[in-house]
Amino acid sequence: MFVMSRTIIFTLVLAFNAGSIWAQDFQKGFAAAQSGDYVTALQGWRPLAEQGDVDAQYNLGVMYDNGWGVLQDYAEAMKWYRLAADQGNETAQYNIGVSYHKGDAVLQDYAEAVKWYRLAAEQGYATAQSNLGVMYKNGNGVLQDYAEAMKWYRLAAEQGNAKAQHNIGLMYGNGYGVLQDNVRAHLWYNIASANGYEEAGEWRDKTAFKMPPADISEAQSTARACMSSNYKNCGW
């Protein structure tokens, strides 16, 4: 099952001038947030965000998104995410995509979700790449295109994204845009499971029931080679 969620990790910036007042204020805010003192973090980051600091803007979005130090306010979160996204922050772009995908604080709009996912995906943001693959696979906001879905799944999978790895298994297991192949389905389910995607282990075991022992051995061997090569030698 595909579950969307926004990224809620604060950005930490190693400023070019670590001794600057700006950098010191940012780091103080980060330290406060890490200790759970969100009110102090907010006090430190808001002036920076209002002066255009992209990372402070993103972090304010996270705080309003989750109600940390402030009343939860999705509309205010979107305001700060947009300011950061317009400056190229890929995590903010991704979070806006999720909001449009789910219809949080905005009307649900798959085409707009695709737009924001793509901006983040083209910067190499693996979760956005995985979600963009889902949009192409399902034809949400774009024409259904299995080849394009596989392209984005693969880019995310090569960065270790377990959801994308699982979805590649589904593509091979069902023959979506590729020849149906239980060996490749098994190996990608196996990899996704090893990376913590619990559902993938269930699909791996179901697939194994349909495979002779030699094919299972091949899938396991290729999975080991794939992971040990940092996803470069995966039998594509």
Q: What residue segments make up the domains of the chain, in order of their start? A: 16-87, 97-159, 160-236
Per-residue pLDDT, 138: 97
> What is this structure's pTM?
0.88
Mean pLDDT of the chain: 90
Q: What's the CA gap between 76 and 166, in Å, rounded?
A: 34
> Structure tokens of 97?
């995509």
Distance from the Cα of residue 187 to its chain's centroid: 22
Q: What is the pLDDT at residue 14?
A: 39
| pLDDT at residue 40 greater than cutoff 50 | yes
Range of weakest confidence among 28-32, 173-177, 179-183, 211-215:
28-32
Q: Which residues contact 115 (CB under 8 A, 6 or more apart)?
A: 97
**Could you tell me the two tokens for 121?**
């995906």
Cα–Cα distance between 41 and 99 in angstroms, integer? 24
Which residue do the tokens 């794939």 mark? 226
The pLDDT tens digits for 12-35 are: 443 434 445 567 777 777 888 888
Over range 162-171, report the average pLDDT. Answer: 98
Specify the CATH number for 97-159; select among 1.25.40.10, 2.30.40.10, 3.40.50.11540, 3.40.50.10860. 1.25.40.10
CA distance 68 to 60: 9
